[in-house]
Amino acid sequence: MTGVAILGFGTVGSGVYDVINTNSGVLELKSGDKIEVKKVLDLRDFPGNPVEKVLTKDFEEILNDPDIGIIAEAMGGVEPAFTFTKRALAMGKSVVTSNKELVAKHGPELMKLARTNGVSYLFEASVGGGIPIIRPLCVSLAADEILEISGILNGTTNYILTKMTEEGKSFDEVLKDAQQLGYAEANPAADVEGHDACRKIAILSSLAFGETVNYEHIYTEGITKITHIDIEYSKKLNCLIKLIGSSKKSKNGISAKVSPCLISKEHPLSAVNGVYNAIFVKGNMSGNTMYYGSGAGKLPTASAVVADIVDAVRHKGLTVNIGWDCDVQACVADIKEADVKAMIRIASDNFEAAKKSIIEVFGDVQFVDLDVQDDEFAIITNEETEGSMAEKVEKIATMSGVGEIRNLIRMEA
């Protein structure tokens, strides 16, 4: 028998409890051992819930229980999750987690500690919720050099953008729904400002390229500036707006970013709606593969956490190697060097003068007018570097006829 402790009985932790109890037969078959929840740590009481029998408020009880071999950390945040994880690994207990904030910030240190103690630190649920992506990257694509990885990596923002586009709902209203459904982070700014997707693309890049990618070096923009007017433009252009995280090898290092992006309705990611996520991986041998599923939510995420528990049971006494060199820091290329094409919304009280100014700076661009907004127009730029585009945007802002630059949304190249 392998005893499991769950840290945190919230959305994911309670899901882990349910998956282990509901699928005990399947888990025994797949892992070769009986898996049992011995303890659950939470700050709250859960009167009437069967979990009460195994509930504790004292982490030491878990740490000192020799029957507990694996800990599922589902508290979130950096502390005390970091300290608890270090102490568990040092005691020879494997740790599995859905906590991408912790993996992105301290993953390499924790993986090294796991190796030193002959156990594993696994985090399939930290990216893409219930989508199998970490294991496919490390195992199924082990024969490939990964060239590029990109996708929709946050369920909350994809849910918000979908509802704003399809139902005309307001940002705040849909964010509340996403919180009620258990998709959003404890502080939803992490979702809507793009930080969550940034941590996920950093984790994926580290696994894909084998070196530690510092998430703090990745250019990140969220969806808080996206308005219904932006969505009207996207419809006119036969596009959708999605929050995309992307990363690829370039001559200047790893070129990674997170930002809203206009993608054509023909693009495969345009069919990824609601809480669903999808991730593209381009390998030098396998070509393109794509992974799709629920990007957040109780049971899909818990399923990924429990799959890691099964893996840890299968590898009892060993460390699961995931091919991430924890001692090498990757060079993240300056965003200014990246190629970009964008839609830029420009307010103007003199369209003729403004368009003349724009052609002077940007050359031959496509102009887009919107019937529902007559004090502005948009341009679709040609592809150039981010640095050069930023300079041009700054320049036109001072030119004849050009008013406020209302938004700039990147476009799929």
CB of 387 to ligand HSE, least distance (A): 30
By CB under 6 A, the residues from 295 to 314 that bind ligand NDP are 296-297, 301
State which of residues 4, 5, 6, 12 lies at the interface with ligand NDP (CB under 6 A): 12
Picked from ligand NDP, ligand HSE, none, the partner binding residue 5 (CB below 5 to 8 A depending on kind) is: none
For 305-340, b where at least 16 C-beta lie within 10 A, e where not — what string?
bbbbbbbbbebbeebbebebebeeebebbebeebeb
- Residue nearest ligand NDP by beta-carbon distance: 10
What would the two tokens of residue 221 be?
Answer: 């923009």
**Catalytic one of 38, 39, 200, 298:** 200
Query: What is the closest distance, in whole angstroms, from the C-beta atom of residue 402 to ligand NDP in the complex?
Result: 42
Burial category of 138 from C-beta neighbours within 10 Å (exposed 0-12, middle 13-18, buried 19 and up): middle
The site map against ligand NDP for 68-97 (x = CB under 6 A) is ------xxx---x-----------------
- In the numeric block, which tokens belong to residue 201? 């693309």
Residue number, nearest CB to ligand HSE = 156
Q: Three-state secondary structure along 88-157?
A: HHHCCCEEEECCHHHHHHHHHHHHHHHHHCCCCEECHHHCCCCCCCHHHHHHHCCCCCEEEEEEECCHHH
Smaller CB distance to ligand HSE: residue 244 or 358? 244
Within 10 Å of residue 278's Cβ, how many Cβ atoms?
22
200: annotated active-site residue: yes
Binding mask 153-192 for ligand NDP (x = CB under 6 A): -----------------------------xx-xx------
Residue 399 CA to residue 412 CA, distance in Å, equals 28
Least Cα distance to 106 among 129, 87, 132, 83 occurs for 83
Q: For ligand NDP, which stretch binds (CB under 6 A), given 5-13, 31-39, 88-96, 235-243?
A: 5-13
Question: Which secondary-structure segment (H or E) carries 375?
Answer: strand 373-380
Angle at 350 between CA 346 and CA 354, to 5 degrees: 50
Q: Minimum distance from CB of 216 to ligand HSE (Å)? A: 19
Binding site for ligand HSE (CB under 6 A): 129, 154-156, 183-185, 191, 196, 295-296
Among ligand NDP, ligand HSE, none, residue 211 binds (CB under 5-8 Å by kind): none
Task: Please give the positions annotated as active site.
Answer: 200
Provide the binding-site residues for ligand NDP, judged by CB under 6 A: 8-13, 41-44, 74-76, 80, 98-101, 125, 129, 182-183, 185-186, 296-297, 301
